A = this chain, B = another copy of it.
Amino acid sequence: MACPRVLGSKSESGALACAKATPVPGDFLHNRASFNPQRTPMSELLNKLEWRYACKKMDPAKAVPQDKVDRIIEAARLAPTSSGLQPFEIIVVTNSAVREQLKTAARGQAQITDGSHLLVFAAWDNYTADRINMMFDLTNAQRGGTNEGWENYRQMLLKNYPARTPEVNFEHAARQAYIGLGASLIAAAFEEVDATPMEGFDPKAVDEILGLSARGLRSVVIVPLGYRAAEGDWLANLKKVRRPTAQFVTEVK
């Protein structure tokens, strides 16, 4: 192909040369020449990511020990978020009757009741001055003081965030919740616990069942935790498929 394999030079239009290049089918290395799988032996983390999958059939007889659940949640709590605001919470549902209601609101997906715990990630419905001040005050209390730069940063957020629409703020908060989601899914893999992230549910119904609106929260993703069933999981033995690195990564050298 005429186009260099690594992007680098600028075209006259200001866009990087080759940025619009059409991938050649089968030529997965069109823009990632320096990637070398031999150079990247799997780390323990990558092994865990390879191990996990979205379990489709959980064994209702097997419960996840509470200490494992605690560590899975702790990973989300420790996960980074924008400005450290942690604009989400996690509801852990073990109550069977409530999980039955939630399953109805989630297209009847059986893992919700076949697993032992259901994590509901719920994002803040808005950024308010109270919420921003709560996190800055907590930070100052824990660090035993503050400084001018930090307080200026607080004022910048107080000026900008509450002035945005609730929907813009909610979408921003939801993205942060997904960082926590990613951390929890990885933590589950480290605990050898199966976890199935689900977006296929009616968020308004879930919010109503769990009383989230009154708390200024909106459900964004739910995750049953459990153990894969010995039989009946159509996905369990299928290859994990991801786009090749060359279709996922572009280098600008």
Q: Is the CB of A94 within 8 A of B253?
A: yes
Q: Is the CB of A243 within 8 A of B49?
A: no
What residue of chain B has the Cβ atom nearest to residue A140's Cβ? B241
Residues from chain B with Cβ under 8 Å of A149 in the complex: 234
Given A95-B252, A98-B252, A199-B82, answer yes or no on A243-B15 (Cβ-Cβ < 8 Å): no
In the bound assembly, the distance between CA atoms of A181 and B210 in angstroms comes to: 29
Residues from chain B with Cβ under 8 Å of A80 in the complex: 52, 54, 182, 185, 197
Map CB proximity to B onto A194-227 as digits: 1 under 8 Å, 0 otherwise.
Answer: 0001010000000011111011000010000000
In the bound assembly, the distance between CA atoms of A79 and B149 in angstroms comes to: 35
Q: Is the CB of B77 within 8 A of A245?
A: yes
Q: How many residues on A have C-beta within 8 angstroms of the other chain's C-beta atoms?
A: 87
Residues from chain B with Cβ under 8 Å of A89 in the complex: 248-250
In the bound assembly, the distance between CA atoms of A90 and B135 in angstroms comes to: 31
Residues from chain B with Cβ under 8 Å of A34 in the complex: 66
Contact of A176 (CB < 8 Å), options: B178, B242, B250: B178
Q: A-side interface residues toward B, CB under 8 Å?
A: 8, 14-16, 19-20, 34-36, 39-40, 43-46, 49-50, 52, 54, 66-67, 70-71, 73-75, 77-80, 82, 84, 86, 89-95, 98, 135, 138-139, 142-143, 147, 149, 171, 174-176, 178-183, 185-187, 190-191, 197, 199, 208-212, 214-215, 220, 234, 238-243, 245, 248-253
- List 5 other contacts, CB 8 Å, given A45-B75, A182-B183: A20-B215, A35-B70, A46-B74, A175-B220, A178-B178
